Amino acid sequence: MNKNRPYGFCVETPVGVITIVFEEKPFLLRNILLPAKGKNVPVDSVYGAPLGSKGGSDKIKEISQLILDGLNGKMIYPPWDIMFMEGFTVLQKAVYRQTAKISYGFLSTYKKIAEGIGRPGAYRFVGTTLAKNPFPILIPCHRVIRSDNKIGGFGGGSTLKQRLIQHEAADSLL
């Protein structure tokens, strides 16, 4: 039995079912999958991992709670030490860390993220990097919009991005 085999665990959230993809020993968060575009369910599988096959571990419960907290107005801090970031450059990681600082209910722009990492002209690079974000919600790329206030792209689709922004805006008004 391969101990590093990825598993999927589904979490019911206010925006649909989100899938956490992870390895068990040692625990490593591989990916977070948003609901499939236009659906309220996750993709069927990833990396050949059967969905819902594991999930009793404390780490999975912690990640699930972080996701739920992140969707329910609590400030969360990504667990960088267990997030699989292999293959990303130092600059891409800087984009993710800068994006993770955006508070619930607030928006930033690709340009502001670029400025925040010391590369003011690299806003397209920021957009390309965020398009590859393996950990949406933990790294809240849905809170990044274009400088002209248009929504911009999103791995879960523009409809889900708009729903997330509206969900957070409504909570912020309470």
Active-site annotation, residues? 141
Task: Yes or no: say if 134 and 144 are a contact pair by the CB < 8 Å rule.
Answer: no
- Rounded-to-10 torsion of CA 14, 18, 23, 26: -20
Tokens 């979490």: give the residue: 11
80 alpha carbon, distance to own chain's centre: 12
How far is it, in rounded angstroms, from Cα 13 to Cα 35? Answer: 10
Closest C-alpha to 76, from 109, 108, 100: 100
